Every structure is written in structure tokens, then in C-alpha cells.
Amino acid sequence: MIEFFFDCSSPWTWLGFESIQPLGAELEVEIIWRPILVGGVFNAVNASVYEGRKNPVPAKARYMLKDMQDWARLQGLSIKFPPSIFPVNSVKVMRACCWLGQDCVPFARAAFRAYWTDDRDIADDAVIADVASAAGVDAAALFAAIATDPVKAQLRANTDELIARGGFGSPTIFVGGDEMYFGNDRMPLVRAAVERRLNGIGSVSLSG
């Protein structure tokens, strides 16, 4: 019913990651976790993100930081824009999420917290080992797994699939396979879409 495409390098994704879980639990629908590499998405279909980073609109940038803190406060999260490393190379932690599959939630949460609260470099093996430990994951097994071709291929496949389905960033959520929603603030729409499906109504076309 719900697919959640995500990359731990995005604070907005952490907000969506935390808010969609109680929604899924309340509506009693499974969330399928789909790790991606959002940089690959940007490179393919949304390169304007890089231009925006190089030449930000000052007023918009100030508001974005305020907006992020408003959402974080609402959800009880501590999010600090990393002063030392941004953007971060999240490929190893996202491969780890692929390897963990539906059991990735504790690891992903610990990775989000390490980067967005503690300003730690989640590309660093020592940090990843700490993240694994915090999530109760065997670090040696994790490092062995993420070096394998099948795990690497799964992350690429997930990323390519999101692009093929019209996605352009993280978090991207699909309901019922064909209704796409982007951003942490779309949860009311996701809820409505799930409820329509549960009531047998199906998707809503662009023509209404």
C-alpha cells in the first residue's frame, strides 16, 4: 500500500520517515522501505538542486531553515544543519538499508540522528560502525554485505526505479503503486489516498 523511497542525507526525509510510521500503524498498512541514492536522482532528473545550492535565494534559504526547525520542533526531533559536512556521501548507509530490508528502521533512524543531530560523517566507517551498534546490527556483517555486488545493484535499481516512476527527490511516497507524493508535509494527502484505497475507491486521476 505505501512505498517510502528515502535517503538519509535529507533532513526532510527524516521528518517524513518519522511521521509516516505512526500513520501506517494507525491505518494498519505496511510501509515498504525503498532506500535510494538521492544524488543519483538529482544527477538524472533534478540538477537544478545543485544550482540552487550554489546560488541560493537568501530570503528563501532563511525561511527553509526556519521551516525545518518548525517541523522538527513539532515532531520532537533535534535537527541541526551540519556545519562541517554537507552534502554527505550516504552510499554506504543506504546500501546497508538495502541489505537490512524491512528491518532497516532502527539503523536508518540511528543514521539520521548521527548526521542531523550529532554532525557526524555517515560516510566514515567508524561512524557507520557506531550507527550499526546503536541499531543492534553486527557491523562486520554489515560491511561485508554492502561490499557485495547484489547489494550495490539493489540500491542502483531502487534509484533507477524511482526515476522511471517520476520521482525527483527524497522522500517520495507511493500509495497503491501509482499515486506519488513528495515531501514530509504530504502526510495528510498520503492518509487520504490510503483511506480511499481501503474504502475501495482507488486512485484519483489528474482530471478528477
The whole-model pTM stands at: 0.94
* Per-residue pLDDT tens listing for the chain (208 residues): 999 999 999 999 999 999 999 999 999 999 999 999 999 999 999 999 988 888 999 999 999 999 999 999 999 999 998 877 889 999 999 999 999 999 999 999 999 999 999 999 999 999 999 999 999 999 999 999 999 999 999 999 999 999 999 999 999 999 999 999 999 999 999 999 999 999 998 776 554 4
| Cα angle: 17, vertex 23, 25; to 5 degrees | 105
Q: At what angle do helices 139-146 and 149-164 cross, to 10 degrees?
A: 70
Q: How far apart are the first and last CA of the chain?
A: 21
155 within 8 A of 94, measured Cβ to Cβ: yes
Q: Which domains does the chain have, with CATH numbers?
A: 2-198 (3.40.30.10)
Nearest to 146 by CA among 164, 173, 123: 123
Q: What are phi and psi of 6, to 5 degrees?
A: -150, 155
